[in-house]
Amino acid sequence: MTSLDDLRRMVETALERSLPASAPEPILDAMRYGLMGGGKRLRPCLTLATAEAVAMRDKTPLGDARSRALPAACALELIHSYSLVHDDLPAMDDDVLRRGRPTTHVVHGDGMAVLAGDGLLTHAFALLAEGPAPADRRIRAITVLASAAGAVGMVGGQAIDLIAAGKVKSYPATPLDAETLQDMHARKTGALLRAAATLGAILAGADAATISAIDRYATDLGLAFQIIDDVLDVESSNEALGKTVGKDAAAGKPTYPALYGLEQSKQLAADSIARAKRALASARIAGLLPDIADYTLSRTN
């Protein structure tokens, strides 16, 4: 059976080939820098693992599920990488370290980093549109991803974060209460993780009940991912994480450890992962999805 490492290797090879070769070399360089060289590739692995799990349960050809999901897996990673490139810009989080290397704007300049993000985001939708899955599934996948990545999802979550940080001229800085914090995470991080998983199911031709169970799995996975991100921000180091740690706490952001303490935060993450696995069991679906849930809980970077 395929392992999580096999999926990562498949993703890396596909990503290498995914960028538009006819783009001018300088923008291609900056896009490649933002995309390649590090990253856990959690979202694309989730897309592939979901498509494979559906194919295994429904006894449909694994190769078809994989080739139909691979462009979507790449699209997810292009969008995630664009969000990191833009998030690190001086106008946003202003960070110099990402995936263990200087951030894209530090190497290529602010203007080119903006364009690299724009190029990655736009090309992601071209990959999805051109994929080998049946057209109705591709259109549905594009609609779901546009909503998850856009103002309703990730961009909206980032806007809430930016306002809380006092970086929006037209809105006063607003401290986050627990409810708004949860809404911000659900949009900023959760929406793309949910899209990553559901796209795999959509492109593999899953029925509505399965897509809904996968969505519940990914919602709890996203919650655990965020809690562990906050825990690592307290317990880990710049070297281990490859990014600057402790910024949220220093900025006075209400993180999970700040709200609940470290031990209770870890328990909340474990509870979410248990719920995520129950959602899988309810749809009699497995493959590598339980492994990805365990990895999300035990990850160290």
d(CA 180, CA 109): 33
What residues have CB less than 8 Å from 97, skipping those under 6 apart? 103, 238, 242, 243, 244
What residues have CB less than 8 Å from 250, skipping those under 6 apart? none
Q: Which residue has the tokens 């979550």?
A: 157
Identified binder of ligand GRG from the candidate list 66, 68, 99, 187, rule CB under 6 A: 99
84 touching ligand GRG, by CB under 6 A: yes
78 touching ligand GRG, by CB under 6 A: no
Q: What angle do CA 139, 142, 147 make, to 5 degrees?
A: 130
d(CA 52, CA 288): 8
Query: In 3D, which of 32, 29, 54 has the Cα closest to residue 211?
Result: 54
List binders of ligand GRG among 170-229 (CB under 6 A): 188-189, 229
List binders of ligand GRG among 111-170 (CB under 6 A): 154-155, 158
The distance of closest approach from Cβ of residue 80 to ligand GRG in the complex, given in angstroms and rounded to an integer, is 6
Candidate ranges 80-88, 108-116, 139-147, 254-262; the one touching ligand GRG (CB under 6 A): 80-88
Site string for ligand GRG, 26-45 (x = CB under 6 A): -------------xx-x---
265 touching ligand GRG, by CB under 6 A: no
Query: Interface residues with ligand GRG (CB under 6 A)?
Result: 39-40, 42, 80, 83-84, 86-87, 99, 154-155, 158, 188-189, 229
